[in-house]
């Protein structure tokens, strides 16, 4: 079960961004990041929120797991950063790259179920709660403001919070959305991930300055620590949490662990491109690249651990 961006077609969008950054000197990443954050991502969150059903069996389990696992991962990472005396501004960037996961791999969890249609609402809920982490904790961590009240203000000024509330309310009350509005939202929804990948490509292209390779190399140690926490500590933590939750559906258990093993998400780059400085952008894009590549090796190992500790037991058929 690979959770990296492992389909060649997905590489087209970041390559477009790299080409734009290298060929057009005036291209910068903050404007397309703003479009992604404040125009496209709200449509994505609204559409996914509309499809949630709080009364379904899996909903509260996924909510609890996401809350507890993210909090524990945040605490562990924060303590490691304190031990390493990482400055506060960069400490938030480390945390950003640890708590935000990539979404492409989540789509590949659906075929785990005997009937893949059973996995659709569960995978959508996992996707939804990680979008909540992006909208709340992601914006809070990426904001470069000094005081926590100012960073919290940035969260409240973002439309992401309000579209989630609106989408959930409309979904729970079964409000019928006009077709024309839904068609517009779907158009923006479809553009969100490709645009985020283009932003990542532009950020990468802008950082490919041969005169500044020493500054880029200086981030490798920190990026390696983030990759270790994201790809090893995170799934190990999930393997400890999931058996204690009383979940009967073994496929749901496995899906939660696999989602915890995903590489750093491209939305971390979008947030860094809009809120961050040059060093923070470089660090984040390097973290996304490294975790995506390393996950090709770590994901199969996570699969072995999952099948060992959370095996799928098939009942024997009696003649």
Q: Which domain holds residue 61?
A: 8-208+217-309
3 domain residue, yes or no: no
316 domain residue, yes or no: no
Percent of the chain with pLDDT over 90: 59
pLDDT at position 265, please?
92
1 domain residue, yes or no: no
pLDDT at position 5, please?
46
**Residue 302 confidence (pLDDT) above 90:** yes
Query: At residue 4, what are phi and psi to the nearest 5 degrees?
Result: -85, 170
Per-residue pLDDT tens over the stretch 31-77: 999 999 999 999 999 999 998 887 778 899 999 999 999 999 999 99
pLDDT at position 1, please?
38
314 domain residue, yes or no: no
**Residue 4 confidence (pLDDT) above 90:** no
**Residue 161 confidence (pLDDT) above 70:** yes
d(CA 94, CA 97): 5
**Residue 2 confidence (pLDDT) above 50:** no
Of the candidates 193, 69, 39, 194, the residue with the CA atom closest to the CA atom of residue 129: 69
Query: At residue 100, what are phi and psi to the nearest 5 degrees?
Result: -95, 125
Our count of domains for the chain comes to 1
Percent of the chain with pLDDT over 70: 92
Cα-based torsion angle of the residue sequence 168, 200, 261, 116 in order, rounded to the nearest 10 degrees: 50
137 domain residue, yes or no: yes
The structure's pTM equals: 0.90
pLDDT at position 279, please?
85
Per-residue pLDDT tens over the stretch 178-234: 888 888 889 999 999 999 999 999 998 887 664 455 566 667 888 999 999 999 999
265 domain residue, yes or no: yes
As a whole number, mean pLDDT of residues 73-86 equals 93
pLDDT at position 99, please?
96
174 domain residue, yes or no: yes
Beta-carbon contacts of residue 137 (< 8 Å; ≥ 6 apart): 70, 74, 99
As a whole number, mean pLDDT of residues 241-250 equals 92
238 domain residue, yes or no: yes
**pLDDT band, residue 173 (cuts 50/70/90):** confident
As a whole number, mean pLDDT of residues 143-165 equals 90
The CATH number of whichever domain residue 165 belongs to comes to: 1.20.1530.20
**23-27, 121-125, 170-174: range with lowest mean pLDDT:** 170-174
Per-residue pLDDT tens over the stretch 248-289: 899 999 999 999 999 999 999 999 999 988 889 989 999 999
């Amino acid at each position: 079960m690979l959770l990296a961006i492992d389909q060649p077609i997905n590489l087209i969008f970041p390559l477009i961004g790299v080409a734009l950054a290298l060929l057009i000197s005036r291209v910068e990443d903050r404007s397309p990041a703003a479009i992604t954050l404040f125009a496209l991502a709200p449509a994505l969150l609204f559409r996914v929120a509309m499809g949630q059903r709080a009364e379904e069996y899996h909903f509260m389990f996924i909510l609890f797991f996401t809350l507890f696992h993210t909090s524990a991962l945040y605490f562990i990472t924060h303590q490691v950063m304190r031990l390493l005396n990482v400055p506060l501004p960069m400490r938030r960037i480390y945390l950003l790259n640890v708590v935000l996961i990539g979404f492409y791999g989540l789509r590949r969890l659906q075929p785990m179920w005997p009937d893949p249609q059973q996995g659709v609402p569960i995978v959508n809920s996992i996707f939804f709660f990680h979008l909540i982490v992006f909208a709340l904790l992601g914006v809070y961590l990426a904001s470069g403001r000094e005081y926590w009240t100012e960073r919290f203000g940035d969260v409240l000024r973002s439309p992401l919070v309000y579209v989630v509330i609106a989408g959930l309310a409309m979904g729970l009350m079964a409000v019928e959305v006009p077709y024309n509005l839904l068609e517009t939202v779907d158009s923006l929804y479809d553009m969100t991930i490709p645009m985020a990948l283009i932003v990542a490509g532009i950020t990468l292209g802008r950082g490919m300055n041969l005169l500044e390779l020493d500054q880029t190399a200086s981030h490798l140690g920190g990026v390696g620590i983030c990759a270790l926490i994201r790809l090893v500590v995170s799934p190990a933590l999930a393997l400890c949490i999931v058996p204690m939750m009383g979940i009967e559906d073994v496929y749901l258990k496995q899906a939660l662990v696999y989602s915890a093993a995903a590489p750093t998400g491209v939305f971390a780059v979008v947030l860094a491109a809009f809120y961050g400085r040059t060093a923070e952008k470089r660090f984040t894009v390097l973290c996304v690249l490294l975790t995506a590549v390393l996950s090709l090796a770590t994901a199969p190992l996570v699969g072995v651990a999952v099948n060992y500790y959370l095996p799928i037991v098939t009942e024997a058929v009696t003649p």
